[in-house]
Each structure stands twice: as C-alpha cells, then as structure tokens.
Structure 1
Amino acid sequence: MTRRPLPEALGAAFSVREAREAGMTRWRTRGPDLRSTAYGARSRLDIARDPDPDRPPVARERDRVLARARELATVLSEHAFFAGITAAMVHGIPLPAHQHSEPWRRAASGPRELRPLVVGVHKPRSVVRRANVRGIHVDPALAPVVEVDGMRVTDRAATWAMLGTELEERDLVIAADHLIRIPRHPGGFRPPERAAYATRDQLTAAIGRRRGAERLRRALARARTGASSPRETELRLILVEAGLPEPKLDYDVVAPDGSFVACLDLAYPALRVGIEYDGSGHRTQAQFERDIAKREWLSDLHWDVVHFTAADFRGRRDPSVWITKRVRDAIARQERGKV
C-alpha cells in the first residue's frame, strides 16, 4: 500500500496534534518513515537519520542532540526552554567530545546513548517531567531566554555560566574564547563579519552567585579574543601553562613596505615565530595552494612557523610535551639566528 506523502507544511519535526490538524490520520502518524523520541512528537526519518559517520564525533553528537531537541520543542509548554549542555549544543558552543552522551554504550557498535535533554523552567513553575528529559528549576535572573531556530533556549552568556559545574576549567576557557571572538578579515581590509556572540562584561554578569562561580571567573580571566577554533585556544593554554610567554592571537604579518603578508593563528612577533593549527579546512586544493604561498612569503621575511594538526593532539600520552618542544625549538632557532 502506498503511503500518503507527508504535508510539507509540517517541516522536519512536528507534534501529533499538528499532524492531525494537517489532515494526517492516527495510523499515518505511526508510519515507518517517522520516528518519535518524545511522547506526542514526530520527526521525518529521511531528515533525522544519523549523520555521516566520517564526521567528527562532536559534530555527529550535536546533530543527534539537535534532532531530538527540535522534536521535543514541538510539544514543550511555552514556559519551558533548553538549558545547560543542551542549550550549548543548540548555540554551537564548543564542548568536549561525548559531553552530551552517557559514558557507556547500549550496543557493541554505534553511537553512545545521549544523556537526557536539559529542559528548564523559571521558578516557581513545576519542572518538566518527561522521558529522556532532565528538568531543572532556574532563577529567572540567571536564565534569560531567547529563540534559536524555533527553539526556546537560555541565551549564550547564561548557557556558558551554566556549564560551570559541567566542564573543566580549560573547556570553559575554550567556550568563552568562542563567545567573545570577533571574526575579522585578515589584514583588516573589511569590517568584522559580526559582533561577538557575547562580551566579556556579559559573561561576567552571567556568572552571578551560582554554583561553579569561582571556576567560571578563573576561566574568564584566561579567555582571549582572537582564537578561531578550540584547538587554537588549546595551543595557547598549553604554551602558557608550560611557562612560555602568551602569544599574540590572529596576528597580521606586514612586510617592511607596509603590505599585508599573512595572518597567523598565534605568534611571537619579536622572535618572528608563528604557530598555525591546520584543521580540516586546509585539505582542499585551493587552501593547500594558499598555504604554500603563505609559507614562502613568511620564510622570505625570516619567520619560523610551526604547524600543528589534529594528529598532534591524539595518540600521545601528553600532547602538551610534544607541542611545547616544537615551539621552544622554533624560538631557539630564531634566537640563534640573531647572534
């Protein structure tokens, strides 16, 4: 028997009530082309299926959380909202791998089971009680709510502050760097693409008198504007913790005639030592050719640039030792060259 097509107006996720109002029968809402992870809600399987297994674990986990959150959002009451790690996933705030997953697997293969979605309500309302949901009470002053892609979530600053009891200090610094970054164009030839997701003052105000406040304050003191990725923040923290001076971030190298040469992820300008993190975006042919030209230009100006990839962060007992050694070696080479 041919199934009736789903009404396009329903979108990727919808409530059973919306489906019935759109003319779907009870049996059609139970069709094999639909799934349900929240009572009274449905998602299209052709849209909600598991993402490409070759994508990074963090990205795959976020896809799964977002699919489940969008479905749940169709049946949540208007005063409920996503909070904590679930809100961080919605906002795209970087988190450690498997942060929203249980520390065990239900089967020998396949992704880890997701932790319950965090759903908050402002006091004194009753917490949300549903399967696969962790309902929490939140002081209204500590949890301003915004709408993102049709979902009610705590704003970015409040969401970061809620992570104070969930994340280690270094991971909080990574998240803060992401929020306060102002994405600019290398060389400053054009205005920044957008403002920061949150200012340092907004993050400070969001800490308030909540649990984990001291850890949040320490992390915020270590946060810097200029890191374009979590790995760049990790590199900076590793170098500083090893006793090296704090490097400049997002540093423009200019030739003696004043022309722009290149922008480095991290740099020690006085020593002409640069540090670059080459992520997956450097795999394309066009980017590869730009990287070669960039290296030649910097070499002509006597810069020593150390490159790192994801491989430098995995497969080693302590990546910080290897990373610090390579940067120290570059600094030593440049200092010898000045003698």
Structure 2
Amino acid sequence: MPITPRPLSARLGASFTVADALAQGHTTSRLRAHDLERPYHGVRRRMPAPAPPASESAHDADPLAADRAEHARVLSDAQAYFQVAPAHAFVAGRSAAALLMLPCPAAEELCVGVVAPQRAPRGRGIRGTKIAPQLVSTREIDGVRVASPASIWAMLGGELTHRELVILGDAIVRIPRNERGRPMPDAQHATIEQLRSAAMARGRRHRGRLLAALSDIRVGSGSAVETDFRLTCQDAGLPEPDLDVEIRTPDGALVGIADAAHPGYRTLVEIEGDHHRVSRRQWLRDLQKHAAYVRLGYEVIRLVSTQVRGPRPRAPQIIADALRRHGWPG
C-alpha cells in the first residue's frame, strides 16, 4: 500500500512555491509525494478531491455548468502560476475570457501577458505574450490580475472567427437582469464604445476584423446560441429582431422578457436550453408566460439549439413562415 504523506503545513494554501514549503520545514522528498501536482516550475498544488460524477440531467439543469468548470480550472492554474509569475504579468486571451465566464474556445495552456518592454514568460503550460501598454488594461479577479473585457476581445482579433468575435462581443456588452427582470447596467462588462476604443487603439493588429465584428455586435443577446440565432437569420435575409424585450400588459405590468421580438409582426422568439425542459419550476413559469404572450396577441416561436445550429438550421425558415403569417412581405 502507498504510504500516506505527512500533512502539509496549514500555512500553505491550495498552491504554493517550493521555497515557501521548504521554509515551513518540508523536505524535497515530501514535495515529490503523489498528493501534490507540479503545474509550473517551482510550484506545487494540492491534488483536488475527486468530484462525484454529475448526472446528465444535473448538467442539463445548469446551463453554465461547463463554463463554471472551465472557470475553476483556469482560476486554479492562474493562482498556482502567480506564485512565481513576473511582477507585471496578467492573465490574457482565452484564459482571461474563461475567468470572466465569457463564451470563447478554451485554451489548454494558461495565456499570460506582460506589457512591453517586459519579456513574455515562457515555460511548460504557459503561453506568453508581450503587448504594448496602450493596447491593454487590467483588473483583479480573485487575487489574480486579468486583462479587461474590452482588451480580451481586441487581443483575440487574430485568433477567433468573425462569428466567435461577435459571440464574445455580445456577451461582453450584455446588460444582465436580476431575478425580477430588472436590468443591471453596472454588471455590464463593457460598452460597444469601449470595444470600439480598444479596436482603434494605436498599433492594434487585426483592426479590420475587429471593426467588421463590431458592426454585428448587439446589446441584448443572453447566450451564444441566441447570437447564433440572430446571425443565422441575418444571413438568411430576415429582418433583424429586437433583443431582450420587455413584454408588458396595456396597464404596464411586466409579463416577461422575450429573447427576441418582431413587434411589428407580433412575433416573439424564445431560445430554450435543456434547463427549460428538466427544471419543473422553469417549465411551469414558461407555460404561464407564453400563455400570457398569446393573450396579448403575440405568436410565440420556441426554438432549441439543434434548430439554430448545424449545416442546415431550420430556424430561419420557421421564423420566415411566422413573419409572413403576420404580414411580412418576405
């Protein structure tokens, strides 16, 4: 049987430097034990306890489960690396997007930036980059310095496709709502004008691609699939919908928030994830809300991701047919 390693000093956190551990009286052999990871040179990290397997239904009930897991992974890597990181380093690019739970293709390596004339960091598990000072601003998240949302978006101008840049931009400029449906502008990551300023900064590479994406970014998209829906219908020649629309009764009472709306054609669109199906509370709330929409004279189109994405998405035809029923000349 493997020998249980001696307990580590309570003064050492989840991740720590080799130097700190030696100063606490631990031996080099203790730091090679199987209960410690070596994510970066000179750093040790306690092995996490194995998580219980999540059921498929539990994952469906939490639409942000994958984003939370990626956030936790990158945060753990960042907190470990910043034990030995250069003084002015910050999390950049795709890794910074994960820390902010923004929709962006993941990176296995930790993306770390420094401001010129500092040298970009190198090493196993690190993807270093050097950037001019006018091209980035930073903030702190959970004790780690991170590029600002507008900086993240602009720095990825050469890595992401047009649609990925629009999806990321939509998430950055979105104004969240609280449980009562009230907008929270202070929770907005950045404005469209701040994205434009980042794209137009002196020396910015891929400015043309950024500005092209910016022309398609809108405030009001609540998820990546909602942005996909809007862009797919746009490519099909459909009129652009209003987003994140408050639907009210004639006396002003709020009935609900529609994902997308064509008010002139009395058509509302709801993009539904699996949590709408597996959460009984959400399901009952949707039934009541959609019935109220119909009483107000709207046709409600409910779509799922398989109708929005893929080589031949059906959503544009479904929406076109609904709009024609309400007078759209097509």
| Short-chain TM bin | 0.7 to 0.9
Superposition map of 1:276-287 within 5 A? 276-282=270-276, 283-287=278-282
Displacement of 1:185 in angstroms is: 4.4
**Are residue 6 (structure 1) and residue 15 (structure 2) matched?**
no
| 291, 294, 297: which one aligns with 1:296 | 291
Cα pair distance change 1:187/1:118, threshold 3 Å: closer
Q: Contact 1:187 / 1:252 at 8 angstroms: preserved in 2?
A: no
**Are residue 206 (structure 1) and residue 215 (structure 2) matched?**
no
Aligned with 2:85: secondary structure? coil
Displacement of 1:302 in angstroms is: 2.5
Corresponding residue number in structure 2 for 1:64: 73
Residue by residue, what CA displacement relative to the aligned partner does 1:2-23 show, whole Å, maximum 9, x if unpaired? 4333344433222222323344
**Are residue 217 (structure 1) and residue 211 (structure 2) matched?**
yes
Which TM-score applies when normalising by structure 2?
Answer: 0.86
The residue type equivalent to 1:151 in the other structure is V
Aligned with 2:186: secondary structure? coil
Unaligned runs of 5+ in 1: 101-113
In 2, Cα distance between equivalents of 1:39 and 1:51 = 31
Aligned with 1:250: secondary structure? strand
In 2, Cα distance between equivalents of 1:235 and 1:148 = 32
Corresponding residue number in structure 1 for 2:44: 42
Cα pair distance change 1:186/1:326, threshold 3 Å: farther
Displacement of 1:49 in angstroms is: 7.3
Aligned with 1:39: secondary structure? coil
| 146, 149, 152: which one aligns with 2:139 | 146
The residue type equivalent to 1:252 in the other structure is E
| 8, 13, 27: which one aligns with 1:25 | 27
The residue type equivalent to 1:5 in the other structure is P
Q: Contact 1:186 / 1:263 at 8 angstroms: preserved in 2?
A: no
In 2, Cα distance between equivalents of 1:9 and 1:327 = 60
In 2, Cα distance between equivalents of 1:28 and 1:228 = 48
Residue by residue, what CA displacement relative to the aligned partner does 1:35-55 show, whole Å, maximum 9, x if unpaired? 112111122222587985955
Q: Contact 1:254 / 1:261 at 8 angstroms: preserved in 2?
A: yes
The residue type equivalent to 1:85 in the other structure is R
Displacement of 1:201 in angstroms is: 2.1
Residue by residue, what CA displacement relative to the aligned partner does 1:290-326 show, whole Å, maximum 9, x if unpaired? 0111121112222111112233345x4222xx11011
Residue by residue, what CA displacement relative to the aligned partner does 1:270-300 show, whole Å, maximum 9, x if unpaired? 2111111112432311111101111211122
Superposition map of 1:252-271 within 5 A? 252-271=246-265
The residue type equivalent to 1:242 in the other structure is A
Relative contact order higher in (CA < 8 Å, ≥ 6 apart): 2
Q: Contact 1:250 / 1:266 at 8 angstroms: preserved in 2?
A: yes
Unaligned runs of 5+ in 2: 60-64
Displacement of 1:166 in angstroms is: 0.7
The residue type equivalent to 1:211 in the other structure is R
Q: Contact 2:67 / 2:98 at 8 angstroms: preserved in 1?
A: no
Corresponding residue number in structure 2 for 1:323: 315
Corresponding residue number in structure 1 for 2:62: none
Residue by residue, what CA displacement relative to the aligned partner does 1:213-243 show, whole Å, maximum 9, x if unpaired? 1111111122111111111111111122211
Superposition map of 1:86-235 within 5 A? 86-96=95-105, 99-100=106-107, 114=108, 116-185=109-178, 190=182, 192=184, 194-207=186-199, 208=201, 209-235=203-229
Cα pair distance change 1:173/1:131, threshold 3 Å: same
Cα pair distance change 1:64/1:17, threshold 3 Å: same
In 2, Cα distance between equivalents of 1:50 and 1:118 = 29
In 1, Cα distance between equivalents of 2:92 and 2:197 = 17
Q: Contact 1:253 / 1:262 at 8 angstroms: preserved in 2?
A: yes
Q: Contact 1:12 / 1:48 at 8 angstroms: preserved in 2?
A: no
In 2, Cα distance between equivalents of 1:175 and 1:45 = 32
Of all paired residues, the percent bearing the same amino acid is 38
Q: Contact 1:50 / 1:64 at 8 angstroms: preserved in 2?
A: no
**Are residue 310 (structure 1) and residue 305 (structure 2) matched?**
yes
Displacement of 1:34 in angstroms is: 1.5
- 74-83 vs 305-314, which deviates more? 305-314
Displacement of 1:160 in angstroms is: 0.9
* Pairs aligned (count): 316
The residue type equivalent to 2:299 in the other structure is D
Displacement of 1:145 in angstroms is: 2.5
Q: Contact 1:51 / 1:63 at 8 angstroms: preserved in 2?
A: no
Displacement of 1:187 in angstroms is: 7.5
Displacement of 1:58 in angstroms is: 5.9
In 2, Cα distance between equivalents of 1:28 and 1:81 = 31
